[in-house]
Structure 1
């Protein structure tokens, strides 16, 4: 699907100009983020799925760089360069190339070099309103470019996070389950493990050392671990520090002393993950599910319903949209509302557009605190193929 002829290239350029025209008219500033990016930023934020598919290399100075696998992170970095704290409201749009490794035989809809035309919005406190405006603008761009037959799929990591916060479990288990959210099999394995034996003793670590460590005395634990490593002449491999090794061991100790996760709580989380329904019906189903267990996530549900209402008012057809509780896209920096636009000829594995909310990404890119942020991007090669039919 990569442009191979001058005519194909011009068709993609014309399509991109159409999309950017829509985005600029809506108040987004056109920018051109750098293609080459610091690898450490990407490898920390994009998640396991794309980490191994990023093109990473060393420059002559020994700095680790990468070809951008998306344009959201570069736009975040551009915003921070302009506004150090990252919290000044701003809206950007772009059209550029992204790069992701694809195995041989991945198909024309999954090239290693592809284009994204997208929008990003920072610093808008009314999250649901910004979510709805972003998706509505993406829809407007798609329709203006000639796309007619498409389906909306949505998810909401804010609902899932609210459920974890309401559930009776240690904070470290919430972090662990949140981390595994994007890997369904690993998530279910971890959830089951927490109901049985939450702690896995690291290989080679004697029980005598673990018995001496007290999660309430982290400084003392660091010294104990350091003394043990010295006495056994063990050298830490890689970039980890003694403090980081100790933190991991203290979590093991805390898990060993904790009661397993309640099977009832695990069943509720599992039931939530399994919810798939039309978008409007999903909210009622989730409310009933939580009510049956006395769990209150009403604030997150109110935000979900308000967003649907705002989308409807913006002209987005949510009646035929599908909600999936375990849908979170493939990029692990998302924190709330997520969406993908599906066309029948390409299928769910090749969305023509997608995006969502990522309130922690600006801080992960260097800002001093979290900043409300949401965006969406169109895969222009797929869009052109879908428009042509």
Structure 2
């Protein structure tokens, strides 16, 4: 596989816009990625161990190392912006190695201005790489959270719905009281329900300990126990039919951004997240971005669990595979151990999808 050239002129362009270049190690501690990345990407990591037995990985993503570098550099709440370029490593992706270029911005309280700048910079970068009019698709994880949060359902089921929706799950399958794949374990789940969460947690952890199982797929016995308890609680949960239909209608939205805004107002009614989305489109339009040609899909979630607001994809044309994407992750620094919360937004482009990459 021929390495993709890094477009140094783009890094200079990012630096001129205030994004300082970061040099980030290829070998990274695995724990932060396992803690905050979604299931799909977690399963595609290249894992190894260092001489002291600590679990390490080849860098599968730039955002988390950039966030850790920001935390290590001082007050996490400070405003700072970074750019990077280099390979990331994932099973099944172009032989396991993919070249990326992108930016991350932390600590900016002018959220809409930061989102607008980052999206405009992504479009400019795509144009510099030979894509003059990239198709832009928008999503919003905060709108998904608001739609799911309005349901009359256990908190554990809501968490599962949010997680599964971000990865393309079906609302009808997820809200069936007893899913087909769980029917073979009905006795186990019934016993866990009867025992109650505290006793069930202890039993599962004891069984895993006796079997000598320390972790499965990066999860500790305690985390495995929590997943079993959640599934037991969700078996008997039923979402009212009218609410299920409202959520289904929301998840079906895939339209030009202005039309999608009207549809969101019809389905979800007034609320702060709708207002933010409307203000975001106004900010994009004011910056000269082609809002009328953007599409919104409630299903776009980037497949990464750390996104919690705006998400976007750039593609050659509508419906094509994305050449890059990004979004907002205000909870990421806290999830990585920062004592002070700080907003964050960024993007990455996959250079191999632009051809020569220079």
Q: TM-score, normalised by structure 1?
A: 0.80
Deviations 1:266-318 (A, max 9, x none): 11111111111001110101111224xxxx5x211111111111111222111
Tell me how far apart the structure 2 counterparts of residues 373 and 95 of structure 1 sit (CA, whole Å). Answer: 19
Aligned partner of 2:87 in structure 1 is 97
Aligned partner of 1:167 in structure 2 is 151
**Cα gap change, 1:229 to 1:308, in 2 (>3 Å):** closer
* Aligned match for 1:180, one of 159, 164, 174: 164
Tell me how far apart the structure 1 counterparts of residues 127 and 220 of structure 2 sit (CA, whole Å). Answer: 52
Of residues 21-30 and 183-192 in structure 1, the stretch that sits farther from structure 2 once superposed is: 183-192
The answer (yes or no) to whether the contact 2:214–2:221 under 8 Å persists in 1 is no
* Aligned match for 2:97, one of 101, 110, 113: 113
* Aligned match for 2:320, one of 335, 348, 352: 348
Aligned partner of 2:17 in structure 1 is 26
Aligned partner of 2:35 in structure 1 is 44
The answer (yes or no) to whether the contact 1:70–1:98 under 8 Å persists in 2 is yes
The answer (yes or no) to whether the contact 1:18–1:144 under 8 Å persists in 2 is no
Q: Give the deviation of 1:353 after TM superposition.
A: 2.0
Of residues 142-151 and 131-140 in structure 1, the stretch that sits farther from structure 2 once superposed is: 142-151
Tell me how far apart the structure 2 counterparts of residues 364 and 179 of structure 1 sit (CA, whole Å). Answer: 16
1:152 equivalent to 2:136? Answer: yes
Aligned partner of 1:86 in structure 2 is 76
Tell me how far apart the structure 1 counterparts of residues 175 and 233 of structure 2 sit (CA, whole Å). Answer: 17
Tell me how far apart the structure 1 counterparts of residues 147 and 133 of structure 2 sit (CA, whole Å). Answer: 35
* Aligned match for 1:284, one of 244, 247, 262: 262
Deviations 1:234-258 (A, max 9, x none): 65733477866765565466557x7
Tell me how far apart the structure 2 counterparts of residues 120 and 92 of structure 1 sit (CA, whole Å). Answer: 5
Q: TM-score, normalised by structure 2?
A: 0.86
The answer (yes or no) to whether the contact 1:18–1:141 under 8 Å persists in 2 is no
Q: Give the deviation of 1:188 after TM superposition.
A: 4.1
Aligned partner of 1:268 in structure 2 is 246
The answer (yes or no) to whether the contact 1:28–1:93 under 8 Å persists in 2 is yes
The answer (yes or no) to whether the contact 1:150–1:342 under 8 Å persists in 2 is yes
- Structure 1 gaps of 5+ residues are 104-109
Q: Give the deviation of 1:323 after TM superposition.
A: 1.0
Of residues 169-178 and 376-385 in structure 1, the stretch that sits farther from structure 2 once superposed is: 376-385
The answer (yes or no) to whether the contact 2:139–2:299 under 8 Å persists in 1 is yes
Computed over aligned residues only, the root mean square deviation of the Cα atoms, in angstroms, reads 3.2
Tell me how far apart the structure 2 counterparts of residues 242 and 383 of structure 1 sit (CA, whole Å). Answer: 43
1:76 equivalent to 2:59? Answer: no
- Structure 2 gaps of 5+ residues are none
Tell me how far apart the structure 2 counterparts of residues 95 and 210 of structure 1 sit (CA, whole Å). Answer: 49
